[in-house]
Structure 1
């Protein structure tokens, strides 16, 4: 884990809102777990965190008066820490599914990214017919999907994956390294946003071995949430929800 300097109330909002709010009384500093995934989350040239996911969450925390700190954490560890429930923390930008709802609390939607549906970033040897829908593409005999342990792609895609019986190649690698694995043809494809896929093609060694495939009728980008441990008070989540939805 990599701790990022504390962000209490509106400190980050000096750059976004130019405003400061008083921390809510009686709340300990809330840990917000994240990983770098442009355009969702990134550091600018000055090292400041930003992104289409990071910024609205920081704004809502400041508006609600909730003291918090960013903690850079690998994806699988985020899931484990929320489930372990040793302290009050939230993983930022998670998809909601039935399995996760068994051990976690979820906020209101923090990002409804309908303009960035997932695509298949694939090795150039994997070229399904352009007329195929998602289920048909995943059901091609011998197809190998690279999937991060415990990852979800939203309820619609998760259900299609299960129905297709596609061969799953599991990994604990982060997204950029997963792209490298596809370029090395250790699997046929991964699911990422189109913008992230384009970035990988440009920046990954042997990126010319990658291409984007868009199945027919691909679902819109699923909603993302704060996925919080049971130690996070309901009242705090409610305060955040009120701030993020206004």
Structure 2
């Protein structure tokens, strides 16, 4: 029977649910055994976030725990900013996995990936309400042909199609920040950028919880949007082949993502 030891660490700021070391990042009172897996979460409502009880909650958290339970793996959960997740996977110092990440060539070079665990709803553009956006605009036009100030989340991949368009956009029009979605939306509303790319799941959540959403923002689908991307379990190369096989077998037994 698998076990879970919660070891929440927030390396951006001092908010920690666990034992805090004054000399550095928060650490667990008991370090996980070498055979344990470290599962890395990052705050991104509604996919994964810290609930009122201090534990991880969200769509991908539920999927991840279902797979890990089926695989019979012992693991410790750690909350980190997205850019630190990439750093931990790249360092490859411990067996670590992050649930529900996109695959990209850059990530494939530093990590190994499971079978897919989730397929997103399409990404949309969330524009300032006063921005004039054609109703049938393409992502190519919006991101490279309209002189938009584009707000991006640091360390995130947006899928091959959008990533390629972002790479073509003038560098001075791009802003990459580490804030979470509420902060990104505040930046758009404050006229610090014109558009941010969000998943439909995120838009559904914030449009219901923010009473000013409809007044401040305009949501636009892109006519050239490809089929939504799939998400995977991204693991450091220190994770054994046996563990990866257990994860893939558990995914095949519990999830049907094409």
TM score, norm. by length of structure 1: 0.81
* Mapped partners of 1:106, 1:144: distance in 2: 33
Shift of 1:103: 0.9
Pairing partner for 1:176 from 169, 176, 182:
182
The residue aligned with 2:198 is 192
The residue aligned with 2:145 is 140
Shift of 1:205: 8.4
Pairing partner for 1:159 from 135, 159, 164:
164
Conservation of the 8 A alpha-carbon contact between 2:67 and 2:247: yes
* Mapped partners of 1:176, 1:84: distance in 2: 30
**What whole-Å deviation, never above 9, does each CA across 1:23-59 have from its counterpart, x for those lacking one?**
xxx9622111112323312455655543321112111
Conservation of the 8 A alpha-carbon contact between 1:147 and 1:190: yes
Pairing partner for 1:121 from 115, 121, 126:
126
Moved more, 231-240 or 132-141: 132-141
The DSSP-based 3-state class of the residue aligned with 2:219 is strand
Shift of 1:68: 1.1
- Give the superposed CA RMSD: 2.4
* Mapped partners of 1:245, 1:182: distance in 2: 40
Shift of 1:194: 2.0
1:218–1:4 Cα change, 3 Å = farther
Moved more, 205-214 or 230-239: 205-214
Conservation of the 8 A alpha-carbon contact between 1:180 and 1:204: no
* Mapped partners of 2:47, 2:110: distance in 1: 25
The residue aligned with 1:244 is 251
Moved more, 181-190 or 156-165: 156-165
Shift of 1:236: 0.4
Conservation of the 8 A alpha-carbon contact between 1:40 and 1:51: yes
Shift of 1:218: 1.8
The residue aligned with 1:108 is 115
Count of residue pairs the alignment pairs up: 224
1:141–1:112 Cα change, 3 Å = closer
* Mapped partners of 1:157, 1:185: distance in 2: 23
* Mapped partners of 2:55, 2:45: distance in 1: 14
